[in-house]
Chains A and B, each alone.
Chain A
Amino acid sequence: MAANRRRIQERFQLIGGSVLTALVVLLCLLSFVWVPHDPNAMQLSMRFIGPGENPQFILGTDYFGRDILSRIIYGSRSILLVCVLAVTAGSVIGSLLGAIAGIVKKGPISGLIMRSIDGLMAFPGILLAMMMVAAVGKGREGAIVAISVFMIPPFARLVYSLILDSENSLFIKAARSYNISKTRLLRKHYLPLLLPRLITLFTACIGSAIMIETSLSFLGLGIQPPNASWGLMLNEARQHFLQFPYLAMAPGIAIALSVLGFNLLGDGLNDALSRRRS
């Protein structure tokens, strides 16, 4: 009974996560095909139309008279672009570092890599991102670099610990006894072992990447105006949301649902994976 319920929860997580994630991706694809209005077109005569007041603007308009729905649709594109690129870069660099440290194991290189990873993890989250933005500059590139640096440690640690854990398993010992090259060992023997775990981590990391990107944009350090981005929309809403609270609703819900989607999917995959292993 309990196991059955566990399965139901897991399935709920997987389905809920997939649906929400698919929605974000669909929104992003939609932005290439159709948006109700030009997201950056200002119409000052159309300022502060509330949601539902005008059928032309379903979610209303902002301070500049820009259509909120169009900006939400466009915002999904910039957020997915930044987050997927950043997490991909971070996961590749992190996994490589972890693999090198795991394969070399002892010696100064491995120690240096893992200590640097410890060092990166000592920075409180947003501080590291802000530091990278300070170095690279505000804007899309800054956000990508900031998030990818942030994503290096979890991947490096995962790969490192998995390699150390499976070092004594028979198939690795057998492979080593053939004296195959280290790159081949990694590619043919470790990679199939690592891949499912890496994919799970990747999914979960997109969720936290969205959180960092929107925080940066909210602080005015991420994507710059007039571009549409959910965090930036909330930043722009700050001056007027006490009179017009609806300004903060759509972008906030969009962020929360997409973070939730990727987190649920990541958790669901993780549970399914660990159940299959045990």
Chain B
Amino acid sequence: MFGYIYKRTSHAIEVLLIVSIITFAVLQWIPGDAAQLILGAEATPEKVAALRTAMGLDRPWYIQYWDWLKGLFQLDLGRSYLFGQEVVTLIQQRLPVTMSLAAFSMILASVTAIILGSMAAIKKNTTVDYISTSLMQLGSSVPAFWLGMLFIVYFGLELKWFPVAGYVSPDHGLGPYLHSIALPSIVLAIGEVGMLLRTVRTSMLDSLSQDFMDMAKAKGLASSTMYLKYALRSAMIAPINVMGLQFAKMVGGTVVVESVFGLPGVGRLVLVAVEQRDIFLFQGLVMFITMLVILISLLVDIAVMFINPRIRIEMQGE
């Protein structure tokens, strides 16, 4: 059991190192000099050179990389010159927005996917199956930014059910907070649910064909017990993995939706960093989000190991 955890963790650290190398290398490639960008075009070469020295940009790349990497492990993501603040502080201010979005849309998407996916599997090759899979195919083909615009016009402007844009923090009451986050969460969920539904359906089909289902049927169990207690429980392992990964990736994937709904989240910050060419901010953001993705998928894998009796027993047997 510890062997598995050790192996999985060291793989995560390896991937993290590679990600840091890719990020560092790609962003080194950016044309133009960070010091020049900060000071503007009219700065004298002496001033630029002085700032370069102060920022440590005149050192060889491998020393710069090493320093940056050491900082990462202490959660020092660097400093944004655009905001004049630590990247960690900037993220802290915006993370609640993005996390709320990711969490709500994941809950919505998971519930829908589990219900529709298991129904599609139980009623395989019937109209229910075709309708739910076709709807999902349609859902994952519609771009989130367009769906967001349509929802704003219809649910925000026509029906006035939801605010058109903006974010209300939970400090101002739970109701207004949920109200402001509902529409963007639904839009995100529609994009995510397709992939999840497929996973639930496939894995449910697989567990329906297992011997224990014949056993349950032979025992004369009620079909609700049979499906909920036996099939669904054993079918949830693969979808939980996918959910964890999708949740983690959503933290970086909310850029478009945050931009449509004018939400002040991490995604907006990423966009600002690219537009304003704030390399340090962008580097910090990319590393933060990717570290989160790797960490969450590691935790999910370990959690699944504990949940899944088959793996657990195999491990004890070792």
A residues in contact (CB < 8 Å) with B: 2, 5-6, 9, 115-116, 118-120, 122-127, 130-135, 137, 207, 211, 214-215, 218-221, 231, 234, 237-238, 241-242, 245, 248, 251-252, 255-257, 259-260, 263-264, 267
Contacts and interface: CB of A to CB of B under 8 A. Distances in A.
10 nearest A-B residue pairs (beta carbon): A124-B252, A119-B18, A252-B146, A260-B141, A124-B249, A2-B125, A259-B141, A127-B252, A245-B153, A135-B29
Contacts of B31: 137
B137 interface: yes
B290 A123 contact: yes
A109 to B, nearest CB: 15
Interface centre among B14, B145, B293 (most CB of A within 10 A): B145
A260 B125 contact: no
A118 B15 contact: yes
Interface in B240-279: 248-253, 255-256, 259-260, 270-271, 274-275, 277, 279
Given A125-B249, A219-B271, A251-B146, 16 more contacts: A116-B22, A119-B22, A122-B290, A123-B286, A125-B252, A126-B256, A127-B255, A130-B255, A131-B26, A131-B282, A135-B30, A211-B143, A218-B256, A237-B149, A248-B150, A259-B142
Given A116-B18, A122-B293, A242-B157, A220 B275 contact: yes
Given A124-B289, A126-B256, A248 B146 contact: yes
A178 B249 CA distance: 47
* Chain B residues touching A, majority SS: helix
A264 B120 CA distance: 19
Interface residues of B, number: 54
A263 B293 contact: no
A267 B137 contact: yes
B252 A123 contact: yes
Contact of A130 (B248, B270, B279): B270
Given A219-B255, A219-B271, A267-B137, A132 B290 contact: no
A6 B125 contact: yes
B22 A120 contact: yes
A126 B252 contact: yes
A135 B26 contact: yes
A255 B27 CA distance: 31
Nearest to A121: B15
Interface in B87-102: none
A259 B152 CA distance: 22
B119 to A, nearest CB: 16
Nearest to B156: A242
Contacts of A118: 11, 14-15, 18
Given A119-B15, A132-B26, A135-B26, A255 B252 contact: no
B141 A135 contact: no
A6 B259 CA distance: 41
A215 B250 CA distance: 15
Contacts of A256: 138, 141-143, 146
A207 B194 CA distance: 14
B37 interface: no
B124 interface: yes
A134 B271 CA distance: 10
Nearest to B125: A2
A238 B137 CA distance: 26
B23 interface: yes
A240 to B, nearest CB: 11
Contact of A126 (B14, B18, B253, B282): B253
A263 B137 contact: yes
A256 to B, nearest CB: 5
Contacts of B23: 131
Contacts of B140: 263
Contacts of A237: 149
B145 A124 contact: no
B4 interface: no
A115 B145 CA distance: 33
B247 to A, nearest CB: 11
A134 B164 CA distance: 30
A238 B141 CA distance: 21
A131 B293 contact: no
Contacts of A120: 22
Contacts of B29: 135
A115 B252 contact: no
Nearest to A255: B143
B155 to A, nearest CB: 13
Contacts of A241: 149, 153
Nearest to B191: A211
A219 B271 CA distance: 8
B19 A122 contact: yes
Contacts of B253: 124-127
Contacts of B157: 242
A255 B125 contact: no
A2 B127 CA distance: 11
Contacts of A214: 143, 145
Nearest to A119: B18
Contacts of B130: 9
